[in-house]
Amino acid sequence: MAEQILKVNGVEICAESFGKPTDPAILLIMGAQTSMLWWEEEFCQRLADAGRFVIRFDNRDVGRSTTYEVGQPGYTFEDMADDAVRVLDAYGVQQTHIVGMSMGGMLAQIIALRHPERVRTITLHASSNFAPGLPPVDEKLMEFFSKMGEINWEDEQEVLEVAVASSKVLIGSKQPFDEARVRELAQIDIARSNHYASKNNHAFVTGGGTYLVRTGEIAVPALVIHGTEDPLVPYEHGLNLVNTIPGAGLLTLEGTGHELPHGDWDVVIEAILKHTHWLQPDSKVKNRRG
């Protein structure tokens, strides 16, 4: 479980593993502006205890991985997808199941098309291929972020309060907001980051479009997990993925927002384990509502 710094693609990527390397691998890819810590240790360990070799890592510009000057990321989504594959190389993993949250789900789609030989299955949580005509970000969320104003990124307390408030505005009505847990994770996240403000670079990353228009060509088993009250990537985005990726399964989380709340862990972990049981090709979850 010890973190290690991997030199891949000419950059440093911080990664950590759980479980036995001889078990089927699951690569967890977190969303934009978010470090691997938000794949919480208990969540990772539960997957590992069920017979999976779990790898989580910090994307560029978050956590302990390489950071860039704010506003000038100097890399593309393709580079981030290739980083993930190089992480697999570092752990000696030839094929993996990928679970991607939000932007991580977008990267999972790119990897499945760019490096199909490395992928067994993909699970896309609160993600999208951003096809034309899909609903935009919820207006209330846009209003919230528009009122945030300038942030003093050198003031750790201010940054902490912004992180907590930003997490709260993303939740749905089903689960109560666990402020104590979010605050603790955010404090650790800020303290361990090379340069916390650099996470904003994810908003400036380009590329990926030539792959996302080909989502219908994904040939590995896919599972879509999406909350019905997601204000950032509305539920219709998840339904679009199900209708676009051949044979994709769906796990609907009623009342869940753009989050992975502890109260959903049981059903989400069960679905991931079933989907990643490679000896059961028919194990995808179809239209289950959690």
Catalytic machinery residues: 102, 230, 258
Q: How far is the CA of 198 from the CAs of 168, 190, 227, 234, in angstroms? A: 21, 11, 28, 26
What single letter denotes the amino acid at residue 157? Q
Q: Sign of torsion, CA 277 278 281 287?
A: positive
Residue 190, class by beta-carbon neighbours within 10 Å (0-12 exposed, 13-18 middle, 19+ buried)?
Answer: middle
Angstrom distance (rounded) from CA 250 to CA 228: 12
Tokens of residue 40, six digits? 């919480």
Which tokens sit at 259?
């989050």
The span from the CA of 201 to the CA of 60, in Å, is 9
Strand partners, 17: 55
In the DSSP assignment, the letter for residue 76 is: B
CA distance 230 to 151: 25
Bridge partners of residue 12, in order along the sequence: 7
Q: Which of 258, 271, 277, 272 is closest to 38 using CA atoms?
A: 258
Structural tokens at position 8: 């891949």
> Exposed, middle or buried, 282 (CB in 10 Å: 0-12/13-18/19+)?
exposed
